[in-house]
Amino acid sequence: MRERVIIDFETTGLSAMMGDRATEVAAVVIDETGIIDRFQSLMNGGRQIPLFVQQLTGISNLMIRQAPKAETVMRQLFDFIAGRPLVAHNASFDHGFLSAELDRIGESCPTGLLCSMKVARRVYPEAPNHRLATLIAHTRIEATGQYHRALADAEMTALLWLRMEQKLQHDFALPEVPLDLMRRIQTAPCKTLDKFVDSFKRRTWPGLNPLTHP
DNA sequence: TGCCAGGCCCTCTTTAGGGCCTT
């Protein structure tokens, strides 16, 4: 069973380094069959949410005051992740908050988060842009909820990730799509995806036809 | 509403600058 955990944070702002805190987190587990488990919670980090962000997310200061303490939620999240590989859309953003919030409970942050935005820039170079909502529409995935809420964004990122794996497997006739391939794709030159995947395919499965589908 | 940050990516580049993406 090859499980990956897709995470998404809602926060008070853009920078954990500048004192912003997480206000909501969600994580969904996927395997080859789709989404198989979910975790979601508001969390109280004790920092006021700017009006603009309240309007963006629908998460109010009152909701946060009534939410469990951030430390409690992060302990639950850490146990939920259970060491499985992590994926996020624009992973550097979520990694910053995951690292900062885990540090507060004395846990080290997992390294090597995979980024669905980086992969999407290579798999869907023709997309109008690579925001999550645009990619969901571009790939004709049905939206599962309200954007800018953690669970909906995590679910839609999960479905996008699965769709990209399926496209790669189909277009390049791969026996499977190893996580290592996704990890390498996100750092490959943007304009050379075909050559890059073919090269990976030749090295990983030497007996297979290297030719790709159109 | 759009700043605050930071890493990535492109190009009229590389001794740089600006747009994208996340809240």
Distance between the alpha carbon (CA) of A73 and the C1' atom of B12, Å:
49
Active site residues of A: 148
Q: Extract the residue ranges of chain A whose pLDDT is less than 70.
A: 1, 209-214
Residues above pLDDT 90, as percent of chain A: 90
Dihedrals phi, psi of A108, to nearest 5 degrees: -85, 150
Q: Report angle CA A176, A174, A209 to the nearest 5 degrees.
A: 145
Distance between the alpha carbon (CA) of A27 and the C1' atom of B10, Å:
33
- Domain assignments of chain A as residue spans, ordered by start: 4-204
What does the pLDDT look like over A102-142, one tens digit per residue? 999 999 999 889 999 999 999 999 999 999 999 999 999 99
Distance between the alpha carbon (CA) of A166 and the C1' atom of B6, Å:
31
* pLDDT score for A212: 54
| Residues facing strand B, Cβ within 7 A | A 8-11, 13-15, 17-18, 20, 23, 50-53, 55-57, 89-90, 92-93, 117-118, 121, 129-134, 148, 153, 186-187, 189-191
The number of residues in chain A equals 214
Residues above pLDDT 70, as percent of chain A: 97
* pLDDT score for A181: 96
Pick the CATH number of A4-204 from 1.10.10.60, 3.40.50.300, 3.40.50.170, 3.30.420.10: 3.30.420.10
Nearest nucleic acid nucleotide to A22, CA to C1' distance: B23
Residues in Cβ contact with A26 at an 8 Å cutoff, skipping those fewer than 6 apart: A7, A8, A38, A39, A40, A41, A149, A150, A151, A153, A154, A155
Which nucleotides in chain B lie closer than 7 A to a protein CB? 1-10, 20-23
Quick one: which of A30, A155, A161, A8 has its CA closest to A77?
A8
- Both tokens of residue A116? 């669905």
Secondary element (H or E) of residue A86: strand A86-88
* pLDDT score for A214: 44
